[in-house]
Structure 1
Amino acid sequence: MSLHAILVPKWGLAMEEGTIAKWQVEQGAEIKSGMEIVDIETSKIANVLEATVSGTLRALTADEGEVKRVGNLIAVVSDADEDDAAIEAFIAEYKEREALEAANIVAAPEPETIEAGGKRVRFMKVASAAEDAETPLIMLHGFGGDHANWMFNQADLAQVRDTYAVDLLGHGGSSKDVGDGTLDTLADTILAWADAVGLDTFHIAGHSMGSAVAQVVALKAPDKVKSLALLCPPAFGEALNHEYIEGFVSAQRRKAIQPFVEMLFADSALVTREMLDDLIAAKRVDGANDALQKIADNALSDAALADLRSKASGVTAPALAVFGEKDQIVTGRNIGGFGGKVETLPNSGHMPHLESAAAVNALVADFLAG
C-alpha cells in the first residue's frame, strides 16, 4: 500500500483545532479500517476518530495533550516494511504544507440574522459549490439547541445543495418571544423565514423537536416541502422523557444540567465542560428560559405530540425516520401512522447526528438523492 496520512478531522463548520486526548493504539500497531484509534476533544464535544484504511501505524506525529489544527497530520499508516526514510520525507512534506496553510487560513462562515414574521431569526447558510445545486435543505435542531447542533453534518450535506441551519424561536440567536409556544407558531416562523430568504421549495431535516416542527411545516405547506428527514422524532416514540425536559429547563448551573445532558448520549464521555458552559450561557440570555418553559408546556406536551401523530398520514412528502437504539429521551416506537423509511443506529442515543455523524450524513444524503 502507499503511505496514508491520518489528519485532524473537521467536525463542524466552527472547528479549527482539536486536542489529542488519548491514543487508543500504539505506534507500530496493526490497525483495521473502522477501528477507533484516537480520542480528540474540541471546544464543543469530545469524539473518536476511526481509521479509514488498514495497515501498520508507522508514526504518531502528535502527542497526547497536543493541540493540532484541522487538517494537520497526526499519524502515518503504511506497510510494515516501508522504508523509514520514505516515512520521514512524507512527514516533512506535510509539515511544510501545514506551514503554508497556516498562513492562508480562510474564516468559517458566520451566521446571519433577519426579520421574518415579525420575529428575529438567526441561521447559518452553507452554500453548495455545485454548478447546478439541487433543492436546498433546511435543518432544524432540537429542544434547547441551536444551529450549531448540525456542526458535523451541514457542510457534508452541502456538497450538492445549499443548506440552512436555523435557530428555532426561543433558541440561539432567534427571538425569545415564542408567542403561545406551540408547534404551529414555531412552524409559521420557519415558513415566514423561508419566504424571506427566497426558498420556494425545500427539504427539511429535523432533530427531535425540530422534526415535530418539520412535520407541521409539511402539513401547512405540502407544495413547498419535498421531503422530511426526521431524527429521533418524538411524535413516533412511545413516550417523551419529560424528566429530561423539566431537568434541562430548571437547571441553572453546570453541575445541575450535566446529568440531563448526559442522558442525550449513548456515551456520556462525549459531554464536555465547554458544552455544558455553552448551554448554561444560552439559558441565561434574557427571556430564554421562560421561552423554553413555554415551548416545553405547549409544543412538547403529550397532547401536542399525540395530535401530531394523529395527523401523520396527512404528510404527503417522502419521509425518513432515524432512531438511536440507546435513546433515553424518545423511548420506544409508535410508527403506525408513519409511511416512510425507518432506520435505527445501534451505537447512538438521542443525538445520532453527533454520535454517528458519518452514518447519518450518508443516510440523509442517499435519501435526498432519491
Structure 2
Amino acid sequence: MPIHMITMPKWGLSMEQGQVNGWLKPLGARVGRGDELVDVETDKIASGVECAFDGTLRRQIANEGDTLPVGALLGVVADDETPDADIDAAVEAFQRDFVPATAADADAGPQPEKTQIGGRTVRYLKIGDGGGTPVVLIHGFGGDLNGWMFNHAELAAGRTVWALDLPGHGESGKAVESGSIDELAQSVLDFLDAQQIGRAHLVGHSLGGAVAMTVASIAPQRVASLTLISSAGLGEEINGAYIDGFVAGTNRNALKAPVLNLFADPALVTRQMIEDLVKYKRLEGVQDALKKIAAQAFEGSTQRRVLRERIGALAPRTLVVWGDADQVIPSSHAAGLPEAVRVEVLAGYGHMVQMEAAADVNRLLKSFFDEGT
C-alpha cells in the first residue's frame, strides 16, 4: 500500500492557513474513506479533514494548536505492514521539499469576477474547463458563492463549474424589484445567457433549490439535471424564527442564534463567519432586499411556493440531498418523492450539509453528473 500524506486542505479561495484544533482519530486507528481525522479551523469555518484512503493512521505530525499553511503535512496513513523507516523517510522528504504557497501564488488561481447583466452587477466564480456538461451552483437565502467553498473545485474535475451570487446577496447588486423566486430564477437564466451556457446541471441549496426548480419550469431545455440540497419548495414547513432572526439581525449577538440553526455541530460556526455576515448585513440595500425576498418566499413558518407535485417532470434527472438534522427545513420533505427522483439523506448533518459532509456530497454529485455526462 502506498504511503498517503494527509495535508492541510484549501477550503475556499482565500484560505492560506488553518489551525489544528485536535485529532479526531487516535494514532494507530484504522481509518477509511470519508472518516474525519483532524479538526481544523480557518477564519471562515471549522471542519474535519476527511481521509481519502483506507489504512492505519501511522503518524500525527501536526499538534493541537499548530497553525499551518495550506498543503502542510498533518499526518500519514499507510497499512500496518509498511516499515516505520519507509514512513519516516517519506515524511522527511515531504518536509524537505514542501514550499508554502505565497499570497501571490494564491491570487494566481481562479478568482471571483463581476459582470453587468441587465444593468445589475453579478459576482460569479468559474472553475474548470473540462468538456462535460457544466454545473451551476445556486446558494440559499442570505448566502453567497462561498457556501460552496468545499465543493466548487472538487466538482470541477472534467467540467466547468460556475457559482454566482443571486441579486441582493454577496457582492452582486443589492437592488431587487419584487424579490420573487421568479425574479431570482430569471437572474440565473440571464446569467446562463451572458456566459453562453446553453445547458447545465443546476445545483440549488435551500432557497436556491426553489430557484433551480423554477428555472427548470421556465426553460426546461436549459437544464440537464437538478440537484436539490436541503431544498425549499418541496414542502410547506420552514423555520420561520430562523428567517425572521436572520433578516432582523444586524450585530454579532443577534445573528449568532439563527446561524447556529444552519449546522448540526455548533462548533462549526466561527467568530469570523458571524463577523462576515455582520459586514454583509450592514451593506446598503441588503436589509431591503432580504425583507422583499423573505416576504415573497415565506409567510411565517410556511413556504409560499411548493413544487413537490412537479418535481418528477421538471428535469430529465433529479437528485435530492438532505441532512437528517436540518433545523431550517425538515428532512421529511425528502420522503415520498417520485421513484424516479434519487434521494440521499445523510445522518447527523444539518442544513449546510454540503459543508458539513462535503466529501460525501461531492461524491454523490460527481457520480450523479457522470451518469448523465
Name the TM-score, length of structure 1 as normaliser: 0.91
Residue aligning to 2:74: 74
Note the residue ranges of structure 1 that are not aligned, 5 or more in a row: none
Q: Number of aligned pairs?
A: 365
Residue aligning to 2:304: 304
State the AA in 1 paired with 2:32.
Answer: S
Paired with 1:100 and 1:17, the residues of 2 have a C-alpha distance of: 10
Paired with 2:116 and 2:296, the residues of 1 have a C-alpha distance of: 24
Paired with 1:337 and 1:26, the residues of 2 have a C-alpha distance of: 41
Paired with 1:303 and 1:327, the residues of 2 have a C-alpha distance of: 16
Paired with 1:103 and 1:184, the residues of 2 have a C-alpha distance of: 40
Residue aligning to 1:189: 187
Q: Deviations over 1:329-351 (max 9, x none)?
A: 11132766655211111121111
Provide the alpha-carbon RMSD of the alignment. 2.3
State the AA in 2 paired with 1:361.
Answer: N
Residue aligning to 1:222: 220
Q: Deviations over 1:35-59 (max 9, x none)?
A: 4331101111101123444555443
Residue aligning to 1:320: 319
Does the 8 A contact of 1:13 with 1:152 survive in 2? no
SS at match of 1:235: coil
Does the 8 A contact of 2:232 with 2:303 survive in 1? no
Q: Deviations over 1:39-89 (max 9, x none)?
A: 101111101123444555443322211111222111223456755544432
Paired with 1:196 and 1:65, the residues of 2 have a C-alpha distance of: 46
Paired with 2:4 and 2:59, the residues of 1 have a C-alpha distance of: 11
Q: Deviations over 1:274-298 (max 9, x none)?
A: 1111111111110111111110000
Bigger CA drift: 81-90 or 31-40? 81-90
Paired with 2:55 and 2:223, the residues of 1 have a C-alpha distance of: 46
Residue aligning to 1:287: 285
Paired with 1:336 and 1:117, the residues of 2 have a C-alpha distance of: 40
Whether 1:159 aligns to 2:166 is no
Residue aligning to 2:211: 213
Residue aligning to 1:360: 361
Paired with 2:345 and 2:312, the residues of 1 have a C-alpha distance of: 21
Shift of 1:121: 0.9
Whether 1:199 aligns to 2:231 is no
Distance 1:120 1:103, change over 3 A: closer
Question: Percent of aligned positions with the same letter in both sequences?
Answer: 41
Q: Deviations over 1:193-241 (max 9, x none)?
A: 1111111111100000001000111111111111110101121135111
Paired with 2:82 and 2:312, the residues of 1 have a C-alpha distance of: 60
Shift of 1:120: 1.3
Residue aligning to 1:330: 329
Bigger CA drift: 93-102 or 241-250? 93-102
Residue aligning to 1:348: 349
State the AA in 1 paired with 2:321.
Answer: V
Paired with 2:25 and 2:114, the residues of 1 have a C-alpha distance of: 45
Name the TM-score, length of structure 2 as normaliser: 0.90
Does the 8 A contact of 1:204 with 1:214 survive in 2? yes
